[in-house]
Amino acid sequence: MLNKAMIIGRIGQDPELRYGQSGTPFLNLGVATDETFTDRDGNRQEKTEWHRVVVYDRMAQNCATYLRKGSLVYVEGSLRTRKWQDNQGQERQTTEIRAQRVQFLDRKGAGSDAAQGGQNQYESQAPQRDAGYRRNGGSDRSHSGWQDGRQPPSRPGPDQDRNGYQGAGSEMDEVPFG
């Protein structure tokens, strides 16, 4: 079975770090996503959907430090439904995204000043980029940038298709016809 949620949206209010009974740090984020569509009359409509996101442990601490109202984030996690009783004794339930990965998408100096340094991400067991990658602004092509030795994906050249095969433009010009 698959239980996965992925959203990109903006944070509705400054995150507030709290601690559970066992001392585990967590925070709740309200993340807004937008959808634009044209209605039957040809008018452009925009709909905003709010998602409740729960973040735990070190990732919650990092979100509390770097995110602010209006920050753009990518959240990946699983849907969880939980039940509780309100102050009047009524049974309530809510469905939320339990974050497994939060990536800060704001560019440095753009939008909110919360995300320092561009695309920061915090996730469980994520491959970490080394200092050489960061020192060169993430664009050092002579260095793979990954501590585990992986190479970043390369783009095919003008005479290659997406699988790296030579196209008809290079070899076929040399085939005699006639």
Backbone angles phi, psi at 71, to 5 degrees: -65, 140
Q: Which option is the CATH number for 5-151: 3.40.50.1820, 3.30.460.10, 2.40.50.140, 3.40.50.300?
A: 2.40.50.140
Q: Could you write out the DSSP letters of every residue in 98-163?
A: EEEEEEE-PPTTSS-S-STTS-EEEETTPPPB-HHHHHTTT--TTS--BTT-PPPP----TTB-TT
137: pLDDT confidence band, cut at 50, 70 and 90? very low
With 50 as the cut, is the pLDDT of residue 34 above it? yes
pLDDT exceeds 90 at position 68:
yes
Check whether 91 has a pLDDT greater than 90.
yes
pTM (whole model) above 0.85: no
Burial label for 46, CB within 10 Å (0-12, 13-18, 19+), is exposed
Candidates 48, 45, 12, 46; CA nearest to 29 is 12
Question: Of the given ranges (46-60, 81-95, 98-112, 153-167), which has the lowest mean pLDDT?
Answer: 153-167
Torsion of CA 69, 63, 81, 18, to 10 degrees: -100
pLDDT digits (tens, 9 = 90+) for 92-126: 999 999 999 999 998 765 544 443 434 455 444 33
Q: What is the mean pLDDT of the chain?
A: 75
Strands 72-85 and 91-104: antiparallel
The predicted structure's pLDDT at residue 108: 64
CB 60 within 8 A of CB 67: no
Region 38-63: what's the mean pLDDT? 96
Report CA-CA distances (Å) from 30 to 10, 12, 57: 8, 5, 18
Percent of the chain with pLDDT over 70: 60
